[in-house]
Amino acid sequence: MPLYEYACHECGEVFEKLVSMSKADAPQVCPACGGGQSRRKLSSFAVSGGGRSSGGSMPAPVSSPFT
Residue 41's nearest CA partner among 2, 8, 5 is 5
Q: Of all helices (H) and strands (E), which one includes residue 38?
A: strand 38-40
The CA angle 50-51-56, to the nearest 5 degrees, is 95
- Predicted local confidence at residue 56, as pLDDT: 60
- Predicted local confidence at residue 62, as pLDDT: 74
The pLDDT profile of the chain, 67 residues, written as one tens digit per residue, is 889 999 999 999 999 999 999 999 999 999 999 999 999 998 776 676 665 555 566 677 777 676 6
- Predicted local confidence at residue 20, as pLDDT: 92
- Predicted local confidence at residue 48, as pLDDT: 67
- Predicted local confidence at residue 57, as pLDDT: 66
